[in-house]
Amino acid sequence: MRDNRRQFIVNQETDHKANGGWATVCGAVFVFVMVLALLEHYLTMAWRAALQSLQWIGDLSPF
């Protein structure tokens, strides 16, 4: 007698390579945003220092 039932094979292992591409893209975007944040922070600090030095020079002026 023949058994006509279908056999289903369930693979419990996930494909780690499929998620590797998204991790690379998200990591690159994260690094890019962090670099922009640091650049903006240092430019803001430099701008404030420049304004303070100009104000100090202006305070020395007799006019």
Q: For 31-57, what is each residue's pLDDT tens digit?
A: 999 999 999 999 999 998 888 888 766
CA distance 1 to 9: 23
Q: Where are the alpha helices (DSSP H) in 1-63?
A: 16-60
Instruction: Name the pTM for this structure.
Output: 0.57
Asked whether the predicted pLDDT for residue 62 surpasses 70, the reply is no
Distance CA 63, CA 60 (A): 9
**Mean per-residue pLDDT, 7-25:** 78
Q: How far apart are CA 29 and CA 36, in angstroms?
A: 11
Using the predicted structure, report yes or no on whether residue 58 has a pLDDT greater than 80: no
At 50, give phi and psi (nearest 5°).
-65, -40
Structure tokens at 9: 């094979």
